[in-house]
Amino acid sequence: MLLKGLKVIEYATYIAAPGAGGLLADWGADVIKIEPPGGDPIRRFFDTIGADIAENPVFDLDNRGKRSIIIDTGGDEGRDLVRRLVADADIFITNVRPGGLTRAGLDYAALSAVNPALIYANVTGYGLEGPDVDRAGFDVAAFWSRSGWARLTAPKGVDPFPIRTGVGDHICSLATVAGILAALHSRSLTGKGQHVDASLLRAGTYTLGSDMSIQMRFGRLASTRPRLEAVNPLANFFQCRDGRWLTLLPRQGTADWPGFCAALGLERLQNDPRFATSKARREHGAELVGLMDAVFASRDFADIAESLDAHDLVWAPVQSPAETVADPQFLAAGGITQIADGAGGFKASPSGPIRFPGLDETTKPAVPAPGQDARAVLADAGFSPEEIEALIGKSVVAERL
């Protein structure tokens, strides 16, 4: 695989930082996951929400193919052990709060002194400077709410609602991987390591970047509106006679208006002064949406889809996750990865967002049990059998929970 030979130390829990480590593992890096005593809390995802489910696909997605070691970093011996593991590592990823890292001697300054070639990635809620540097920052808080997403996404008059599990986290994971790979390229030229600062807040505002650019330039922004009040009534959702929904996405400008009229049998509206220009369609949006709703309500999804395709218009079905995982195009795009279950079988999991044509990506190694690789990781780092037994005996390291 592309990253074979890279050693990654992941000193992180939950989703955003482990998601970055997970992508690196998918691409062939040796990712050593340092878990706290008791294991990564996200291993107990379903227990937290009161569901009695033994399997945990949420954890599996971000941790397949890693090696796990449990280290108690509450004392000097555990912290020294982390520094020793970092000594020959290429990458260190952490989402521990910056103040705690500094107090433990595991911050960038300390670890880069141990390994000047180290790529050190901090994944935080709010960045490495400012009054909230040590504030906890889950994605609903930092990425979704504080960035502006929650207020802007809720249609006018609708109460704010939460983002789905891990959405902002995984966007931050992608950003973190991008920063790490840029730093690796720089190191290949200079031989020097690099500090990578990824935050949920900044990932959120960048992802919202088109709207944020307008806000920053003009000091105001249009709200998200219900269907009948859409700024562009053509960029909307419509329900067909058989109950299926689809979304239309007109290209910029007015080039698609004649095509929509033809596809929907509304040619009479093409030169109607109420709808002939973008401005007119906006001013008479509710009326236009009502006319289009009537057409969609009179035709089945397959019929409408064929007409839209015949005019090369941009649209997509509005699918449930259950429909998506059975979608032939999703399957053809390699959307499902199989994870070895350790017993000769496999379990389905979402693929990462990047595909490398020609490289096998259909199966991934198993998800580690907490602490299962302790002895192998320590032996690889040069610890003798006696030293390993001593660390386990003193509970600095745990083999298994």
Statement to judge: residues 173 and 30 lie in one domain: yes
Statement to judge: residues 258 and 204 lie in one domain: no
Q: Kindly report the pTM of this predicted structure.
A: 0.94
Statement to judge: residues 293 and 379 lie in one domain: no
Residue at 200 is within a domain? yes
The predicted model gives 268-290 an average pLDDT of: 96
Statement to judge: residues 150 and 255 lie in one domain: no
Residue at 31 is within a domain? yes
pLDDT single digits (tens) 134-145: 999 999 999 999
Statement to judge: residues 162 and 72 lie in one domain: yes
Q: What is the CATH number of the domain that holds 308?
A: 3.30.1540.10
Statement to judge: residues 55 and 170 lie in one domain: yes
pLDDT single digits (tens) 291-320: 999 999 999 999 999 999 999 999 999 999
Of the residues 302, 317, 332, which one is the last residue of a structural domain?
Answer: 317
User: Is 204 within 8 Å of 144 (Cβ atoms)?
Assistant: yes
Residue at 219 is within a domain? no
> What is the band of 400 on the pLDDT scale with cuts at 50, 70, 90?
confident
The reported pLDDT for the residue numbered 344 is 87
Statement to judge: residues 31 and 172 lie in one domain: yes
3-state helix, strand, coil in the chain (%, to 5): 45, 15, 45
How many domains are there within the chain? 2
Statement to judge: residues 44 and 171 lie in one domain: yes
String of DSSP letters for 296-352: HHTS-HHHHHHHHHHTT--EEE---HHHHTT-HHHHHTT-EEEEE-SSS-EEEEEPP
The reported pLDDT for the residue numbered 297 is 98
The reported pLDDT for the residue numbered 360 is 79
Statement to judge: residues 199 and 257 lie in one domain: no
Quote the domain boundaries for residue 99.
7-209+366-398
pLDDT single digits (tens) 168-181: 999 999 999 999 99
| pLDDT, averaged across the chain | 96
Can you tell me the distance from the alpha carbon of 291 to that of 356, in angstroms, rounded to the nearest whole number?
45
Q: Which helix (H) or strand (E) holds 16?
A: helix 16-26
Q: List, edge to edge, every strand of the sheet that includes 7-11.
A: 194-199, 119-124, 91-94, 7-11, 30-35, 67-71, 397-398
> What is the band of 254 on the pLDDT scale with cuts at 50, 70, 90?
confident
The reported pLDDT for the residue numbered 5 is 97
> What is the band of 51 on the pLDDT scale with cuts at 50, 70, 90?
confident
Can you tell me the distance from the alpha carbon of 178 to that of 183, in angstroms, rounded to the nearest whole number?
9
Statement to judge: residues 311 and 378 lie in one domain: no
Statement to judge: residues 180 and 273 lie in one domain: no
pLDDT single digits (tens) 190-199: 999 999 999 9
Of the residues 317, 346, 375, which one is the last residue of a structural domain?
Answer: 317
Of the residues 278, 295, 317, which one is the last residue of a structural domain?
Answer: 317
Statement to judge: residues 277 and 169 lie in one domain: no
Q: What is the CATH number of the domain that holds 42?
A: 3.40.50.10540
Residue at 125 is within a domain? yes
